Amino acid sequence: MKIGILTGGGDCPGLNAVVRGVTKAALKKGWDVVGFRDGYKGVVEGRFMPLDDKAVSGIIIRGGTILGTSNTANPFAYTLEPLGSVKAPKDLSGLAVKNLKNMGVKALVAIGGDGTLNIAYKLHKKGFPVVGVPKTIDNDLSATDVTFGFDSALKVATEAVDNVHTTAESHHRVMIVETMGRYAGWIALRSGIAGGGDIILLPEIPYIAGDIVKAINDRRRRGKHFSIVVVSEGARPEDGEMTVSRVVEGSPDPLRLGGVSYKIASLIEKNIEVECRVVVLGHLQRGGSPTPFDRWLATGFGVSAVDLIEQKRFGRMVALNRYSCQSVTLAEAVGKLRRVTPDCLEIRTALSVGSTFGNAGIVK
């Protein structure tokens, strides 16, 4: 029995822990394991490395992925030279399946987010045995209670919110911390709660400039001459769009967000005599060693993926539900994004301790 592993999409802490979990569980069953380099690119171009006990020794503590990753190597619309191009994407999914079969790979473990798992689902429909493992720091896959990588990103964001408090209070400033989160604001929301953020701006709740200004003025009237704003990169005004810094042609998601925190700083300084400072976390949230929770979760996901293969339950994704490793169909996994809703526990919690969301008309 030979199985393959790939890591697709953006990197995050915990990927190596999954690779290790899958490899060790498979080796214990007497199986052979290969890791495909740079996501689906390795499958299409036949680039891989054998994985044994030595290859995965010590990697549980490391961020990133020893296999490499790619968020542009879609076998169904391949744009990478020399086999494809941005101007003329090619469907090389047949070549990908052929390569897997020629290598004797009987099943593939695809570790990634919505894009990676969508491709895995298509390969499953094409007839190749696939099992998915959910990864995204945004925690926006609806079929699992949590994805690995989220807790590690949340730790970085929360520490940043913690660390700006002293500067904000000492200088009577508004400090703005910008987190990742294009369409789902879970990182900003939970780090805002954990770090004591006063205003939390999310993609799901369009903000109103006047409500942000009012929230800061209300604090000043109560003798609080500093404020902490935690803003997700995908936050937008009620009558506007997300803040785009540039467009990258040929990318699966060509819009590159950036600058919303500076926009918020500008609107505050125009309306209030207060100095604003901005901290953009960016890819800091993707790096570093995974938290103990993410190591535990990623290892459990890896072992559960091997169990699904042994049971021949293909076309499924491992998931954590009520602290139990279960599985759902890939169709369920990629059906819709898990986004913040105004009535969720976190929103109610934040409101109860005095945080606001820049839109009093939506969240009361």
d(CA 108, CA 127): 12
d(CA 125, CA 123): 5
d(CA 57, CA 204): 41
CA dihedral 88, 91, 96, 99 (to 10 degrees): -80
Q: Mind telling me the catalytic residues?
A: 138
Identify whether the C-beta of residue 308 lies closer than 8 Å to the C-beta of residue 131: yes
d(CA 114, CA 182): 13
- Region at 286 (left for phi over 0; alpha for psi -120 to 50; beta for the rest): alpha
Q: Which long-range contacts (CB under 8 A, 24 or more apart) does 213-220 make?
A: 213/267, 213/268, 213/271, 213/272, 214/360, 215/356, 215/358, 216/174, 216/268, 216/272, 216/274, 217/272, 220/272, 220/274
